[in-house]
Amino acid sequence: MRVRVVAFARVRELVGGEPALLRDVSEGATAGAVWDELVRDFPSLAGLERSTRLARNGSFVDRSARLNEGDELALLPPYGGG
């Protein structure tokens, strides 16, 4: 299945700089599994796991959350607005 990964700020830069990536992942993959695959492709992400929150279709999720075809997984580093 295919999911859309959106990343921001430093995390976006480390996954290639594009605002969104389409990723083919195994059926029923979890948010954490997609993160782990990204770390394999972009090893400099490895140290950021603790500070990066995950959201599925706009809501925070744990690593164990299962994704569906077409879901948007957001990688959210600590905020800096204001």
Partner 1 sequence: MVELTERPLELEPLIAAVRSDSCGAVVAFLGVVRDISDDARPVSGLTYEAYPEMALLEMRAIVAEASAKFGEASVALVHRVGALELGEASVAIAVAAPHRGVAFDACEYVIDELKRRVAIWKQEHYLEGAATWRVNTLEE
Does the footprint of partner 1 cover residue 48 (CB under 8 A)? no
Does the footprint of partner 1 cover residue 32 (CB under 8 A)? no
Instruction: For residue 13, report the phi and psi dihedrals to the nearest 5 degrees.
Output: -60, -40
Task: Build a one-symbol-per-residue string for 62-81: x at contacts with partner 1 by CB under 8 A, - elsewhere.
Answer: ------------x-xxxxxx
- Least separation in angstroms between residue 40's CB and partner 1 is 23
**Cβ nearer to partner 1, comparing 30 with 52:** 52
Distance CA 15, CA 8 (A): 10
Distance CA 2, CA 19 (A): 16
Q: CB under 8 Å to 46, separation ≥6 — which residues?
A: 39
Interface residue list for partner 1 (CB under 8 A): 6, 8-10, 12, 55, 58, 74, 76-82
